[in-house]
């Protein structure tokens, strides 16, 4: 397939591009940042907020599948209004262009931050969180992701082009080099995140290997018939990024979770990706216990 990846130079984008190229697809990567071309991958430096440049890119690539990752990648990285403006305009522009230019499938990156966790007063209706739990974003980044999901649903209702639109909520993305000690997007290592639970508590101890998330994005563009247009899927590891059970850790940092977290014993995560397993046959394959180079004991 001819597949266009927006934001292909980013932490997740690099793994998505690599996974698609390894599966023998004709991959084009578009990003504001210039990236050296790799075998089997065409690199395009383009501002996707520029409507003319965006349409020219789609006309040139003629993608059969689109993976949309471009945008402000983390909360608080820009002023709130800029995050909302950039992320939502990009999603509408790219997803509508995908449908208009004849793509069979388009998949956008959302985020589990739509649930609004991150404050001590946060109270979920239940745990683990799945795609049916109501969103309640607490910052502009999370709100932008809710709007991206609604954008996909709106276009799914409006377009009769045969393009299946879906969203994926990747957990805290860990790139392959970060298992070997490179710093994560928050400036510390995975091992430090495990030793100091306060670092990971803000994200409810979730994570996903970038390669596992890439496999889900690839599956959705390759097999759109498996999904329903407008679907949202979690891409989050099935075990927690923690040395202690979340039944003990979550109430320590989020007191309002004590009752809901009581069943999160052993290695159970605060999120469920069962929907992707049920409908698509996808399950995360990599855990921190297998991938982390530095030894970190479960005994602390």
Global model pTM greater than 0.85: yes
Q: Give one DSSP letter per residue of the chain, joined into a string.
A: -EEEEETTTSHHHHHHHHHHHHTT-EEEEEESS-----TTEEEEE--TTSHHHHHHHHHHH--SEEEE--S--STTSS-HHHHHHHHHHHHHHHHHHHHHTT-SEEEEE--GGGG---STT---SSSSB-TTSPP---SHHHHHHHHHHHHHHHHHHH--S--EEEEEEE-SEE-HHHHTT---TTSS-HHHHHHSHHHHHTTTT--EEHHHHHHHHHHHHH-GGGS-TTEEEEE--SB-SSSS-HHHHHHHH-GGGHHHHTT--TTB-SB--HHHHHHH-------HHHH-SS---TT-
* Sequence ranges of the domains in the chain: 2-291
Tens of pLDDT, residues 86-113: 999 999 999 999 999 999 999 999 999 9
Q: Which CATH superfamily is 2-291 part of?
A: NAD(P)-binding Rossmann-like Domain (3.40.50.720)
Tens of pLDDT, residues 30-44: 999 876 566 679 999
Tens of pLDDT, residues 245-295: 999 999 999 999 999 999 999 999 999 999 999 999 999 999 999 999 998
């Amino acid at each position: 397939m001819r597949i266009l990846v927006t934001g292909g130079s980013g932490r997740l984008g690099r793994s998505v591009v690599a996974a698609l190229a390894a599966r023998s697809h004709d991959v084009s990567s578009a990003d504001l940042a210039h990236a050296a071309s790799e075998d089997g991958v065409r690199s395009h430096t383009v501002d996707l907020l520029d409507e003319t440049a965006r349409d020219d890119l789609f006309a040139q690539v003629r993608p059969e599948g689109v993976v949309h990752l471009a945008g402000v990648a983390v909360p608080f990285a820009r002023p709130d209004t800029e995050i909302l403006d950039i992320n939502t305009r990009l999603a509408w522009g790219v997803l509508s262009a995908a449908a208009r230019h004849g793509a069979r499938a388009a998949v956008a990156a959302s985020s589990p931050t739509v649930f609004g966790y991150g404050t001590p007063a946060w109270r979920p209706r239940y745990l683990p969180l799945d795609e049916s739990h109501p969103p309640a974003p607490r910052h502009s980044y999370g709100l932008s992701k809710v709007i991206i999901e609604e954008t996909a649903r709106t276009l799914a209702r409006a377009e009769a082009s045969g393009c299946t639109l879906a969203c994926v909520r990747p957990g805290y993305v860990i790139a392959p080099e970060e298992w070997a000690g490179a710093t994560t997007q928050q400036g510390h290592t995975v091992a430090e995140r495990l030793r100091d639970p306060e670092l990971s508590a803000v994200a409810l101890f979730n994570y996903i290997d970038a390669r596992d998330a890439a496999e889900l994005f690839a599956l959705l563009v390759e097999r759109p018939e498996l999904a329903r247009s407008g679907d949202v899927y979690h891409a989050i590891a099935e075990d927690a990024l923690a040395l202690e059970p979340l039944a003990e850790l979550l109430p320590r940092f989020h007191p309002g979770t004590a009752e809901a977290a009581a069943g999160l014993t052993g290695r159970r995560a605060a999120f469920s990706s069962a929907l992707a397993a049920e409908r698509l046959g996808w399950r995360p394959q990599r855990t921190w216990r297998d991938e982390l180079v530095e030894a970190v004991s479960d005994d602390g």
